[in-house]
Amino acid sequence: MPTESFATKGQQCFRRTPGGLRTRLRLLMVAMVVLLLGGAAGLLVELRDAAFEKAESATAGAARLLEDNLSRTLVTTDAIIARMVVVVQENQAGRIGRAELLRELASLEAGLTQRGNMLVVDAKGDVVAAVRPPKAGGAVNYAHRDYFSAHRDGAERFIGPMVLGVYSQAPVFTISRRVNAPDGGFGGLVVVGVNARFFTDFYNTLGLGESSYIGANTAGRIMLRQPNPEKYVGRLPPNNPVMAAAATQPVGTIRIDSPIDKVERVVSYRKLAQFDVLVSAGMAVDDIVAPWRRTALVICGALAVVLLGLGWMAGTTFKVISREEQAMASLEETVVARTAEAEQRATEARLANESKTRFLAAASHDLRQPLQAAGMFVEVLAGQVEDDPRKVKVVDRLRQSIEATNSLLATLLDVSALEAGKIKPNVSDFRVMPLLAGLVDQIEPEASAKGLAIGVIPTSLTVRSDPVLLERLLRNLLVNAIRYTTSGRVLVGCRRRGGQVVIQVLDSGIGIPADKAEAVFEDFVRLDTPAERGGSRGLGLGLGVVRRMAALLGHALELRSIPGKGSCFGVVVSKA
């Protein structure tokens, strides 16, 4: 009786197993193929999206760097031109002679951030003073230039598009100011032509790709373009979608077909409201997806190998099942013979099934291994300088500015994560003097442009904080001090207070009324004062950022101010 029961169960098992196994294997194969194809497609879509996100981040960073670089150039050059205008007016009034005029012209031209030609033009458009003669020789008249007409019609300052410079015989963009005659009429102008090729090294360090570009537009015309600026002299970009986007949103990233060279690009832009200049940086879509295409080929090749392996394994398994079915058909003489043969075939089927399972596990394991994308943007500091200390200094300052801006951008990302509660401050003990000295060096050009003195009181104190977040906090305080100070100086120093150190930022600015001492630390709160109207207007977020960072670091804030005399901001930090 037990033998009959065992035989019956074995017979039923073998009757349903081969066909059912074949069906299940077919369903499994279909499911595996669907999963592999779907997974590969999803991975490729994610990698493509990641490539475009990286490109958007890279172009946004390049646009920000270009904004900082160009803003610094425009601010410094405009300040030098304004000084030269005063000298020319003194000469026209007869208070200084021509020799003194030429000496001042040479001295001020040597101080330009980006070396260019500074020219003095009279009311007829003739160049009356220049440090060096034009390369083409002969007399030069600029009455046909746009900036001459604009100044003659009353414009005080004019940022001009890229033209072929008469003096340099190179593509230049111009910055000029009107000179008022002693009788109040139009007495001429002072103009500086900034060589567009000075931005070639800056472009090369960005590493955005072969078909990338950086550029700037003013009044709808091309002011700067890299690479190959000479190709864009005098060109008008037709129906520029970047300018259309900037009209409604001053900062952004869009994907467009360039109206200039018909290349599809991801373009990030920023608007310099102070000078009505739009800067942009773009990466070609072909350059963005090139690494992704190589990765896609590798993934597709690996997927093809896996699918071929699965097909071979399925064919082998089906052959085994067919052999089992044929063997089962011949086992009908006796129940015992059928049972014994069935047990033997069951063992073979089990071993074959285990082999199939191991093969599937190994293939799946190999397929799940991630494939690294082969695209990295590498910033390369490049450029050669001649044996001229002034040029070396300019290149060094440019390098420092780029590094500082990169650090600032990384810090902003960290702050965003900190506010979201995703990371914690990296607190350590460090000497505060290098941090303060570095901040003063970075902000000194902005202070000098406003005629302010800025300095730091030496100290040997060591504090305990997050140096990156503390630097960002103090940078906001220094920028705020310079913005609201029209004359005098800004000073940074430290005071001991028991087991704590108070880092103070003092200025001789407009001061803060007592009833606004707390409100200034709120978001979007600004003191609308003449000092601010004369410079760049912020969004009123600087001190709000200071408040958040101080709370995150556990540092107390102090404020003492006398309206009309100045303010003193303090950050209380633990002494190491």
Q: Which tokens go with 449?
A: 């442009």
Residues sharing a CB contact under 8 Å with residue 514, sequence separation 6 or more, in sequence order: 561
Q: State pLDDT tens for residues 499-552.
A: 999 999 999 999 888 888 888 888 677 776 554 444 444 456 678 788 888 888
Q: Indicate whether 14 pLDDT > 60.
A: no
- In which band, very low, low, confident or very high, does the pLDDT at 32 lie, cut at 50, 70 and 90? confident
**Sign, Cα dihedral of 148, 153, 157, 163:** negative
User: How do residues 44-78 score in pLDDT, each as one tens digit?
Assistant: 888 888 888 888 888 888 888 888 888 888 888 88
Q: How far apart are CA 25 and CA 422, in angstroms?
A: 46
Position 44 scores a pLDDT of: 85
Please check the confidence at residue 9 and state whether its pLDDT lies above 50. no
Structure tokens at 412: 């902003």
Q: Which residue has the higher pLDDT, 414 or 264?
A: 264
Query: What angle (nearest 5°) sits at the alpha carbon of residue 455, between those of residues 451 and 458?
Result: 170
Length of the chain: 576
Question: Does 455 score more than 90 pLDDT?
Answer: yes
DSSP-assigned beta bridge partners for residue 117 = 193
Distance in angstroms (rounded) separating the CA atoms of residues 307 and 269 = 46
pLDDT tens per residue, range 162-212: 888 777 778 888 899 999 988 888 889 999 988 888 888 888 888 888 888
Q: What is the CA radius of gyration of the chain?
A: 36
**Among 126-140, 286-300, 383-397, which is the least confidently predicted range?**
383-397
Tokens, residue 425: 């401050």
Q: What is the 3-state secondary structure (H, E, C) of 419-443?
A: HCCCCCCCCEEEEHHHHHHHHHHHH
Q: Give residue 142's region: left, alpha or beta (phi > 0; psi -120 to 50).
A: alpha
> Is the previous residue joined to 425 through a cis bond, with omega within 30 degrees of 0?
no
Q: Rounded to an integer, what distance in angstroms lies between the CA atom of residue 241 and that of residue 246?
A: 9
Q: How far apart, in whole angstroms, are the C-alpha atoms of residue 562 and residue 566? A: 6
Number of neighbouring beta carbons within 10 Å of residue 393: 11
Q: How far apart are CA 515 and CA 500, in angstroms?
A: 28
Q: What is the C-alpha to C-alpha distance for residues 207 and 377, in angstroms, rounded to an integer?
A: 6
| Single-letter amino acid code for the residue at 386 | E
- 383, with CB counted inside 10 A (0-12, 13-18, 19+), is middle
The dihedral over CA atoms of 238, 239, 244, 246, expressed in degrees to the nearest 10, equals -20
Q: Report the distance separating Cα 222 and Cα 174, nearest Å.
A: 12
Q: 29-33, 266-270, 399-403 — which is least confidently predicted?
A: 399-403
pLDDT at residue 321 tops 80: no
Does this model's pTM top 0.85? My answer is no
pLDDT band at 231 (very low <50, low <70, confident <90, very high): confident
pLDDT in tens, 557-576: 999 999 989 999 999 999 98
Q: Does residue 264 contact residue 255 with C-beta atoms inside 8 Å?
A: yes
What pLDDT does 313 receive?
Answer: 83
Could you give all domains of the chain from N- to C-terminal order, each with its CATH number? 1-383 (3.30.450.20), 424-575 (3.30.565.10)
The two beta strands, 186-195 and 116-121, are: antiparallel
- CA separation for the pair 88, 105 (Å, rounded): 9
Burial 80-107 (b: 16+ CB within 10 A, else e): bbeebbebbbebbeeebeeeebbebbee
214 burial via Cβ count (<10 Å: 0-12, 13-18, 19+): buried
Pairing type for strands 453-456 and 489-497 reads: parallel
Cα dihedral 36/42/48/54 (nearest 10): -120
Confidence band, pLDDT 50/70/90 cuts, at residue 259: confident
Mean pLDDT score, 149-160? 89
- Which region holds residue 185: left if phi is over 0, alpha if psi is between -120 and 50, else beta? beta
Is 80 exceeded by the pLDDT of residue 341?
no
Q: Which residue has the tokens 């472009």?
A: 203
Task: Report the C-alpha gap between 536 and 273 in whole angstroms.
Answer: 8
Query: What is the predicted pLDDT for the residue at 508?
Result: 93
Do 32 and 310 touch, CB atoms closer than 8 A? Answer: yes
The 3 state secondary structure assigned to 447-480 is HHHCCCEEEECCCCCEEEECHHHHHHHHHHHHHH
Q: Record the tokens describing residue 373, joined without a space.
A: 């994308």
What distance in Å separates the CA atoms of residue 478 and residue 447, rounded to the nearest whole number?
Answer: 10
